[in-house]
Amino acid sequence: MIKTETHGRAGLIRLDRPEALNALSDALMEELGAALLGFDADPAIGAIVITGSERAFAAGADIREMQDRRFPGTFREDFIGARWETVLRVRKPVIAAVAGFALGGGCELAMMCDIVLAADTAKFGQPEITLGIIPGAGGTQRLARAVGKSKAMEMVLTGRVLSAEEAERANLVARVVPAAELLAEAIKVAERIAALSPVAAAMAKQAINVAFESTLREGVRHERQLFLSLFGSADQREGMAAFLDKRKPRFGEG
């Protein structure tokens, strides 16, 4: 259900459940979580790409598996919380490379990643309302923060799907690329990040994520602490010395 590869210092995770358009079953989410934590712990990896197939990044939580779930069992097992949020624990940057459907939990998984790159074939939506439920993996919260209230309301209340172009206009994705170039482009971005200072990248990610959870004042204070602490890193000395020596920096000393 999951395939992993490495491309230089980029770790690639492919969701591979074609018979169900990569529907996110419990087993798939467990495998995905293990792969993410494996790459996060591997010092040879600097950034991670999650992708699906040409047809689907992921068509959402597995409806066949969900149909027999009942409350309070859902609460007791911590459905979603127990398996879906591992990606939020990853400290290295995670890029979602999305082609085809990113619906429901698929759209939510992409939004939990740090950068979303979309193929021109990508389709984003939160169709849970058509199943008699609502998004449960951050789809009302991260979507509203990304695209604003009115568009989030329209998507969540009607299930309307956005094209890649509309998703880019709405700030749901960083950029749209031709489908044939999606994976190469995502790996290129991951390799670029992975060549920079790992500690600075992890702190940059953390600082931006704090922007979504704090007041401006708290967020700036957090950023300042991280910024100041980087002056204790070998990568700061190396980066600045390399600039002044007009040579390429060699990062990775921490």
* Residues at the interface with ligand CAA (CB under 6 A): 20-21, 23, 59-64, 80, 101, 103-105, 108, 127-128, 131, 135-137, 139
| Interatomic CA distance for residues 60 and 22, integer angstroms | 8
Q: Which is nearer to ligand CAA, 4 or 53 (CB)?
A: 53
Residue 67 vs 215, nearer CB to ligand CAA: 67
> How many C-beta atoms surround the C-beta of residue 28 within 10 A?
22
- Which residue's CB is nearer to ligand CAA, number 25 or number 233? 25
- Annotated active-site residue 139? The verdict is no
Which residue among 47, 100, 110, 128 is the active-site one?
A: 128
Distance CA 217, CA 17 (A): 44
Q: Which of 46, 105, 106, 136 is catalytic?
A: 105
Q: Minimum distance from CB of 120 to ligand CAA (Å)? A: 18
Measured CA to CA in angstroms, residue 216 lies from 112, 135, 156, 206, 220 at distances of 21, 27, 28, 15, 6
Active-site position among 31, 108, 168, 185? 108
Catalytic site includes residue 108: yes
Q: How far apart (Å, rounded) are the C-alpha atoms in residues 223 and 221?
A: 5
**Which one, 64 or 160, has the nearer CB to ligand CAA?**
64
> C-beta of 147: minimal distance to ligand CAA in Å?
16
Burial class (CB in 10 A: 0-12, 13-18, 19+), 249: middle
Q: Is 61 a catalytic residue?
A: yes
Alpha-carbon distance 159 to 93, whole Å? 29
Q: Which residues are catalytic?
A: 61, 105, 108, 128
